[in-house]
Amino acid sequence: MNIDPLPNFTVGELNHSIGTLLSRGFAPRFILHATVSKSQLKNGHLWLTLTDGTASISGVIWSSCLQKLNFRPTQEDGVEIIGKLNFWENRANLVVQVIEIRPTLSTVLRQFEIVRNLLLLEGLIDEKRRRSLPKFPTTIAILTSVPSSAYADMLRTAKERWPLAKLLIFPIPVQGDVSQKIQNVLSYLSKRCIQLGVQAIVIARGGGSREDLMVFDDEALCRQLADFPVPVVTGLGHEDDLTVADLVSDHRSATPTASMVDLMPSKIIAMDNCLQLRRRCKDYFSWSIQNKLKIIIQKRRELKICSPLKIIRRKKNLLSQRRSLLEALSPLNLLNRGFSIVHDSNNNPISTIQEIKISDKLMIQFSDGNAEVEVQSL
């Protein structure tokens, strides 16, 4: 039996052949899903051990690339990598060169749970800490990426709803490892809120994946938002997205545009309320004037009734009536009709014969004079 001759290699030739085979037969770039089981920084390069629980491979992020990345993985982080294979022929060493890397949703949610539970335990996440928003804000600070569609929508909505408010724009990065930059802006603003007249701040970011919102789960950033001197409104991502920043804020809005709707009153509704109030005031003043006019008319009638001349006339009539009554009851009327009044010597009237005796001197009063008599018989 004939056997074909086997190829002969030196170690260098074998490694070179393997490298050529990999470069020709394998994808130049690929996506790798893995968990970081080890992370170590050496000479500015970040070396990783990547695993899926059953197999592992080494990975590296060169320092030139590491400086550009928004996310720096640590141990136990789930990651999604865009990379390519690096094969070093002199050692037959195969590693994944990381071009781009981002956390997986499991890593984001794990970070969210850790920070949320910590701040819950410290009482920084509590409904009782939430402050009410200004009813008619005059100055609002907006922290968001500029330019962006979210920023444009917020400006348009603010102008439509309440153009009287002054908007102070503070551009911030909103994705990646930018927590410190946002904290710097917040520190600057917190010291000048009173000077600038800021009544509330809005921190906003447009739509994206939940992984893109990971910066708003940063512990230090969330602590700063929880202790901010004026009410904080968040409009981060989509309606279903929830970050720790949303939990420590005074008001969470579903989207950046919704944050403007929630914070600013509607000029149309305010105008309608003003018109209703105007009508109510007009109705009240009309009713009040009519009511006061009725009171004045009533008082005028009372004054007429209580006029001094009328009182004098009434009193005069009353006196005249009483005079007529007195005259009707006066004993003088009886004297005019032929009756007389008999008085004793002490001028006391005598009504019965038992009150006199013989020789008493009496005075008889007639209508036209008096006569003195002496009793001679009874």
Q: What pLDDT, on the 0 to 100 scale, is given for residue 355? A: 83
Strands 361-366 and 369-374: antiparallel
Length of the chain measured in residues: 378
Count of C-beta atoms within a 10 Å radius of residue 81: 22
Q: What pLDDT, on the 0 to 100 scale, is given for residue 369? A: 84
Q: Rg for the chain (alpha carbons), in Å?
A: 55
Residues 240, 19: Cα–Cα separation, whole Å: 47
Give per-residue pLDDT as tens, 166-223. 999 999 998 877 899 999 999 999 999 999 999 999 999 988 888 888 899 999 999 9
Contact 173, 145 (CB under 8 A): yes
Q: What is the mean pLDDT of residues 46-67?
A: 89
Contact 256, 205 (CB under 8 A): yes
Give per-residue pLDDT as tens, 84-121. 998 888 888 889 999 988 888 888 888 899 999 999 99
Residue 26: pLDDT band (50, 70, 90) is confident
Question: Is it the case that residue 71 has pLDDT exceeding 90?
Answer: no
28 CB-near residues (< 8 Å, 6+ apart): 84
24 CB-near residues (< 8 Å, 6+ apart): none
Residues 298, 221: Cα–Cα separation, whole Å: 72
Contact 245, 259 (CB under 8 A): no
Mean pLDDT over each residue of the chain, to the nearest integer: 88
Residues 168, 163: Cα–Cα separation, whole Å: 13
H or E segment to which residue 171 belongs: strand 166-171
